[in-house]
Structure 1
């Protein structure tokens, strides 16, 4: 056997060994992820007191983008007349852009079969499907997926991906109706504190500043997930929060969306919008709904479609 032949054999053996090592590492990572997901799912199920039910949602497939209706809900207050605490539309498109719209819950809109009411009343009257219809009819936006996130699951998710807390610059003292007391300044907030920060609205600016804080919190969570530690804990985190989420997305849908975002969209900023926009609404009091925001529907519809479409 010539020297050149021996070199070729050695090279082939080296490539084979390297390929085998890569396959073993890939399989190990996959099995570890599955193990962590199942472990997290078991932990979530142990702590969850109520069971989920099937939810009607007549979703429409949207080309080149994914629209997800995100709703926050307190399981302890869940009943047939519950109103969602937050209404957001999260979009990830084929340009690898991530956009977030917060719709203020006091927005006074037309609800099919009900008449004019606050937009979060649609959830109370007809669940997530009536809310989807209301958004489509008033703003012309189709939504493919929904996720109703229980606040307890949010707390546990934060404590898993950030055991030392999420860094937030708290702008004022907060304690009314949020279950925690938070002081001003840059600090690490655990799951319960971060939820309280995002939900606080008992000051002069009310829901307006709360929307800003909610968007600020989601940006901070995104930054945490993109760290090595956050990424490594992701399978277990998804398992933990799964029992706390009602959604029409499969686990495969979620993992595919997350992996695609981490590979292609992680370096892009999260773009945000609030509906109603400034100067496109009038605060007023109406007999059947109390304090509302009367919207210039056409201006807000145009702004929302321009932002998402």
Structure 2
């Protein structure tokens, strides 16, 4: 008997956490109780900052943000070291979906990206939310990158931790003993390790990721900082989706747990209807998640005063921004992984990657970075199972 094919939401967006309700609704097959549960999700009015809703079947951009709310963290949480208890955007992603061509792409904006904040002033892009709420963040993205946003979805990272617990942890293969003392990540055992909610959150937040090549006598920190962090987040998404599917999202008890987590931690804009989510899932029923293309803007590490930030390479990043402006088609995934983007030459889509490969594919014009990093050095900071092996 042929096994029913999994839908795009089941296999992809569950792992994004911020879109958990979308997955649950489609997986539930229209069950009234699931629809009613999702209808109770918190809403936020983002004023006139959103682009007018696209017509059914037309492309749209959805801003997905994970908030790092220090007010909700315990006093002993290692994430509070060196920072205040404030609200910041810890993860910023723009998901573009094009139903007519059955394509989707994801743009990850590093939180340390230095930008002109809408309404005046400059700062890291993740400060826009704290300064003026979702409206200021959306306006900043539109102003600086020319990318319109149709919908807004936000999740507190406490919900991220709860979701990982609900699927009994996420497997990650560690090639070396690894740690991040700033976030509380401590993985000294190598091989395939199942990360609990707390350790998974520490891994996803890690910017000062370190490995030891000499049995923990000395430690070497990832020189790419926020870029390495974004790559590890994208890798974690792939591992989480596989675990979530294996957990059985069609199971009513699993759905109930996920929806309860969403009600406590997920917020949608007031214009994003539950029917919109269901329609989108229906349009992408046959989408192949391996076709998801991920982008990260080209930027160079620098200082603004005493602050370590990333300065955008505007010219080199325009081709990928054009994809999210609707001026360029989403590129097809390169079937042959290309490791050139892990060397000193970086593509304008420096993290143009397929969801399945975990490595970047050069698809646009190249530009040199200022930091000499060898392929071996950089790839060592991205945990992955050796060729021919699996994890989880």
Larger-gyration structure (1/2): 1
Inter-partner Cα distance in structure 2 for 1:268 and 1:81? 37
Partner of 1:59: 50
**8 Å CA contact retained: 1:69, 1:88:** yes
Q: Conserved in 2, the CA contact under 8 Å of 1:224 and 1:230? A: no
**Which structure's relative contact order is higher, taking Cα pairs within 8 Å and 6+ residues apart?**
1
Taking the TM superposition and a 5 Å limit, the aligned residue runs for 1:284-295 are 284-287=302-305, 290-295=307-312
Give the match for residue 147 of structure 1: 153
Find the counterpart in structure 1 of residue 16 from structure 2: none
1:297 maps to which residue?
314
Asked if 1:90 is matched to 2:95, the reply is yes
Pick the aligned partner of 1:121 from 123, 127, 130. 127
Give, in angstroms, the shift of residue 124 of structure 1.
1.9
Question: Residue 73 of structure 1 aligns with which residue?
Answer: 67
Segments of structure 2 that go 5 or more residues without pairing to the other structure are: 1-27, 73-83, 209-220, 327-392
Once residues 141 and 185 of structure 1 are traced to their aligned partners in structure 2, the CA distance between those partners, rounded to angstroms, is 40
Q: 1:272 aligns with which of 288, 294, 297?
A: 294
Question: 1:71 and 1:175, CA in 2 relative to 1: closer, same or farther beyond 3 A?
Answer: same
The match for 1:110 among 110, 113, 116 is 116
Which residue of structure 2 aligns with residue 48 of structure 1?
Answer: none
**CA contact under 8 A between 2:147 and 2:324: conserved in structure 1?**
no
Q: TM-score, normalised by structure 1?
A: 0.73
Aligned-CA RMSD value: 3.2
Matched residue, 2:265: 244
Structure 1: 5+ residue stretches without partners: 1-28, 46-51
1:178 corresponding residue in structure 2: 183
- In 2: Cα distance, 1:72 partner to 1:175 partner: 20
Q: Which has the larger helix fraction?
A: 1
The whole-number CA distance in structure 2 between the counterparts of 1:91 and 1:111 is 23
Measure how far apart 1:180 and its partner are: 4.6
Matches within 5 A, 1:142-291: 142-160=148-166, 162-163=167-168, 165-172=169-176, 173-183=178-188, 184-202=190-208, 203-205=221-223, 206-227=225-246, 229-232=248-251, 233-234=254-255, 236-248=257-269, 249-261=272-284, 263-275=285-297, 277=298, 281-287=299-305, 290-291=307-308
- 1:118-147 Cα deviation digits (max 9, x unpaired): 211211211111111111111111111111
Tell me if 1:34 matches 2:41: no
Q: Report the Cα offset of residue 244 of structure 1.
A: 0.4
2:144 to 134, 138, 141: 138
User: How far does residue 301 in structure 1 lie from its aligned partner after superposition?
Assistant: 3.0
Cα 1:153/1:114, change in 2 over 3 Å: same
Change (3 A) 1:70 1:305: same
